[in-house]
Amino acid sequence: MSADPARCRTTRDTWIDTYRKATLGNFESQHTVAICLSTGCDGAITESRMFGCAWQQTIAGSRHPEYAAADKDDVAKFCGQEWIDNADRQTARDQAKVFLTLLGISK
């Protein structure tokens, strides 16, 4: 059960558009997707720590001008040993490479 049902409902209602914008390269949407996949956004989204880490690494690799120290901290936390295991961390790195290719950032 969510501590904030209205926020949870809003997150669920906007998820498809947020994810679409993330896949188009929108920094804010990528950040939201990364956090929600990593944490479940208070029960609004099914948690997938590996995909959350992959999006964190995608953000880092995208070289967004908005990228800041807090984003580096998010990568360290949500891709760290206390959050996901080595196998998921490697899978997340591989998935981030795919995302970056799809975004046209790397080949």
pTM above the 0.95 mark?
no
Separation between Cα atoms, residue 86 and residue 27, nearest integer Å: 27
Separation between Cα atoms, residue 5 and residue 11, nearest integer Å: 10
Separation between Cα atoms, residue 15 and residue 3, nearest integer Å: 19
50-101 residue pLDDT tens: 999 999 999 999 888 888 888 889 999 999 999 999 999 999 999 999 999 9
Q: Indicate the domain borders of the chain.
A: 5-102
Whose structure tokens read 């099914």?
46
List all residues 6 or more positions away from 64 whose beta carbon is below 8 Å from its beta carbon.
Answer: 27, 30
